[in-house]
């Protein structure tokens, strides 16, 4: 069974927006059972900004997919309604109170103003955005300091700025934490690979081509280098110059139809329309121009036809053909009908508005150009060597009689979706459901994913007063790196205890 359900909850089209080019690429599990909770979204806001979200709900299978849908819907609706990042995070927290299974979900929520380049973001337990400046060194933005959803941490919002042509790249932890790479090495590698992909080979004549490369080429390069052990999701946005509106007049002659077609094609290419969309729009507008020239000025003198176009902040392309004549039916038009030309316009563009007045006629077509999100199939999930969670994560008792703070365990190996359930059971047992203190030493952890973080978070939250669950790890370890990222408190006393 293919992971149709997972695909169904992710965007298949990325809207074309003024002043920014967005692209997305996701590598998804082949089967529903392997489906992970990676998700992303692109949401134009009422203030003319664009919201970009990449998240991971942890877990796998249909349950993870259903959670993805809930969280994506909630976040998307809030942003589209004009909510701030703080308000959107608060809504996610509220959802986590009603639906505990959402707890531990991570997301990076970013709102970019294409005009000013200002961006605000919250990394709720999620890897921070990578900025690829045009002609500069790549740099990660600092984590904003918020923890995962539903863990009670306050929403912290940080700000940064993109210069024109700069690009920002969001990813899920599967991108950083790949086979043979811990999260630290994966983080460095992503910056290098992404800089290579959008850097010197850039074709600046194609608007937004770098955004596409930052997703597709980077995904390709990472898979060739290491393969993958999780879903991978990349979402990129390049700040571009806001496109000029189109406005031009021609004298109402047959040659105006072709002349306008040439001008329109150049303008549409500048917006970054895909070729198929361009052909549709060109033909639709061509019929409106034909009608204006043919019908508007029967027997009249030198009159003009005007073509105007604009791409709205929410990604709607509006094209208006106007004249100062009155459209007349010719013998070829069906009585009372629109005629085949307007029927074609409507079929190609969807929406057509006619405004016939005594002093002229205008026809407006509305169209939402988009390009596809690249949703790739990963094939069956790789089975780790040894095939058992027991082989991949060792949980050892390190308690000593003199340990005043209670029992202590040390984890060695991978703390990920595959081992999370066993770890959860172990923590529950050793803390006697949160009633006994426990110290968890993460020094030997080689991999710590969102699913593992959620288990640790959950155990800390469930601990009763006086029986805390403490984490400890060296800051330069894999666990230390990830815990910093997700803003989960831990102590640096791991080395002092054998």
Partner 1 sequence: MLLNEPTVVCTPTRDGRCAILSVGGEVDLATLPRFRRALVPVLDAASVLVVSLDDVGHLSAAGVRFLEEIRAVKEDQGGGLLLQCGEHRPARLVLQALGIPVITELPISLRSGASVTPP
Q: Which is closer to partner 1, CB of 67 or CB of 278?
A: 278
Q: Name residues whose C-beta falls within 8 Å of residue 168's C-beta, 6 or more positions apart in sequence.
A: 52, 110, 112, 119, 129, 130, 131, 132, 162, 236, 237
Q: Which is closer to partner 1, CB of 119 or CB of 363?
A: 363
Q: Which is closer to partner 1, CB of 123 or CB of 260?
A: 260
Site string for partner 1, 222-261 (x = CB under 8 A): --------------------------------xx-xx--x
Q: Which is closer to partner 1, CB of 75 or CB of 288?
A: 288
Please report, as residue ranges, which positions from 112 to 171 form the binding site for partner 1 (by CB under 8 A).
none
Does the footprint of partner 1 cover residue 216 (CB under 8 A)? no
Asked if residues 208 and 370 have their Cβ atoms less than 8 Å apart, the reply is no
CB of 14 to partner 1, least distance (A): 20
Enumerate the β-bridge partners of residue 28.
Answer: 377
Q: Name residues whose C-beta falls within 8 Å of residue 276's C-beta, 6 or more positions apart in sequence.
A: none
Please report, as residue ranges, which positions from 305 to 364 form the binding site for partner 1 (by CB under 8 A).
332, 339-341, 343-344, 347-348
Q: Which is closer to partner 1, CB of 97 or CB of 258?
A: 258
CB of 336 to partner 1, least distance (A): 18
Cα 329 from Cα 153, distance rounded (Å): 67
CB of 261 to partner 1, least distance (A): 7
Q: Which is closer to partner 1, CB of 39 or CB of 250?
A: 250
SS3 annotation, 229-286? CCCEEEEEEEECCCCCCEEEEEECCCHHHHHHHHHHHHHHHHHCCCHHHHHHHHHHHH
CB of 264 to partner 1, least distance (A): 11
What is the token pair recorded at 302? 């030198």
Cα 205 from Cα 195, distance rounded (Å): 19
Q: Which is closer to partner 1, CB of 134 or CB of 279?
A: 279
CB of 31 to partner 1, least distance (A): 30
CB of 234 to partner 1, least distance (A): 27
Cα 406 from Cα 467, distance rounded (Å): 8
CB of 300 to partner 1, least distance (A): 17
Q: Name residues whose C-beta falls within 8 Å of residue 38's C-beta, 6 or more positions apart in sequence.
A: 26, 28, 54, 55, 56, 68, 172, 174, 230, 231, 232, 233
Contacts 24+ apart (CB under 8 A), 390-397: 390/422, 392/418, 392/419, 393/419, 393/422, 393/423, 394/444, 395/422, 395/423, 395/426
Q: Which is closer to partner 1, CB of 89 or CB of 284?
A: 284
CA angle, 401 then 402 then 408, to 5°: 70
Q: Which is closer to partner 1, CB of 230 or CB of 277?
A: 277
CB of 287 to partner 1, least distance (A): 5
Number of residues that bind partner 1 (CB under 8 A): 24
- Got the DSSP string for 12-44? SEEE-BTTEEEEEEEEE-SBGGG-EEEEEEEEE
CB of 331 to partner 1, least distance (A): 13
CB of 482 to partner 1, least distance (A): 45
Q: Which is closer to partner 1, CB of 187 or CB of 291?
A: 291
Q: Which is closer to partner 1, CB of 218 or CB of 349?
A: 349
What is the token pair recorded at 284? 């639709």
Please report, as residue ranges, which positions from 274 to 313 form the binding site for partner 1 (by CB under 8 A).
275-276, 279-280, 282-283, 286-287, 290, 293-294
Asked if residues 469 and 459 have their Cβ atoms less than 8 Å apart, the reply is yes
What is the token pair recorded at 123? 């990394």
CB of 345 to partner 1, least distance (A): 8
Cα 139 from Cα 188, distance rounded (Å): 10
Neighbour-count burial for 270-285, b at 16+ CB within 10 Å, e otherwise: ebbbeeebbebbbbbb
Query: Can you give the binding site for partner 1, defined by CB under 8 A?
Result: 254-255, 257-258, 261, 275-276, 279-280, 282-283, 286-287, 290, 293-294, 332, 339-341, 343-344, 347-348
């Amino acid at each position: 069974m293919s992971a149709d359900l997972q695909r169904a909850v992710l965007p298949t089209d990325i809207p074309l927006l003024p002043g920014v080019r967005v692209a997305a690429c996701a590598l998804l599990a082949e089967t529903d059972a392997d489906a992970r909770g990676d998700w992303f979204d692109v949401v134009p806001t009422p203030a003319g900004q664009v919201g970009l979200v990449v998240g991971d709900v942890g877990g796998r299978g249909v349950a993870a997919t259903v959670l993805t849908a809930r969280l994506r819907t909630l976040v998307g609706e809030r942003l589209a309604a004009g909510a701030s990042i703080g308000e959107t995070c608060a809504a996610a927290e509220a959802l986590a109170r009603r639906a505990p299974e959402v707890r531990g979900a991570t997301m990076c929520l970013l709102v970019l103003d294409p005009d000013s380049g200002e961006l605000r973001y919250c990394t709720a337990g999620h890897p921070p955005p990578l900025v690829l400046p045009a002609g500069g060194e790549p740099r990660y933005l600092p984590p904003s300091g918020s923890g995962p959803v539903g863990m009670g941490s306050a929403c912290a919002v940080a700000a940064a700025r993109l210069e024109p042509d700069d690009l920002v790249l969001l990813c899920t932890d599967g991108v950083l934490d790949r086979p043979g790479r811990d999260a630290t090495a994966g983080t460095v590698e992503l910056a290098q690979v992404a800089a290579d992909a959008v850097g010197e080979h850039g074709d600046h004549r194609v608007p937004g081509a770098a955004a596409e490369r930052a997703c597709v080429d980077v995904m390709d390069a990472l898979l060739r280098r290491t393969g993958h052990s999780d879903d991978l999701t990349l979402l990129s946005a390049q700040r571009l110059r806001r496109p000029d509106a189109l406005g031009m007049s021609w004298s109402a002659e047959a040659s105006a139809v072709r002349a306008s077609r040439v001008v329109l094609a150049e303008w549409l290419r500048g917006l970054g329309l895909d070729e198929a969309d361009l052909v549709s729009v060109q033909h639709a507008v061509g019929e409106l121009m034909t009608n204006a020239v043919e019908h508007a000025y029967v027997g009249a003198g030198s009159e003009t036809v005007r073509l105007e176009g604009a791409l709205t902040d929410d990604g709607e392309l509006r094209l208006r053909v106007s004249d100062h004549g009155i459209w007349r039916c010719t013998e070829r038009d069906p009585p009372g009908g629109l005629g085949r030309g307007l029927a074609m316009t409507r079929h190609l563009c969807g929406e057509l508005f006619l405004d016939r007045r005594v002093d002229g006629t205008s026809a407006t077509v509305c169209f939402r150009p988009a390009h596809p999100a690249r949703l790739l199939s990963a094939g069956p999930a790789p089975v780790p060597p040894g095939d058992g969670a027991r082989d991949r994560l060792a949980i050892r008792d390190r308690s000593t009689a003199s340990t005043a703070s209670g029992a202590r365990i040390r984890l060695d190996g991978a703390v990920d979706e595959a081992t999370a359930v066993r770890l959860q059971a172990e923590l529950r047992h050793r803390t006697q459901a949160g009633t006994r203190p426990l110290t968890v030493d993460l020094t030997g952890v080689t991999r710590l994913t969102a699913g593992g973080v959620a288990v640790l978070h959950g155990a800390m939250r469930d601990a009763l007063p006086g029986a805390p669950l403490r984490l400890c790890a060296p800051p330069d370890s894999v666990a230390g790196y990830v815990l910093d990222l997700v803003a989960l408190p831990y102590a640096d006393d791991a080395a002092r205890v054998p």
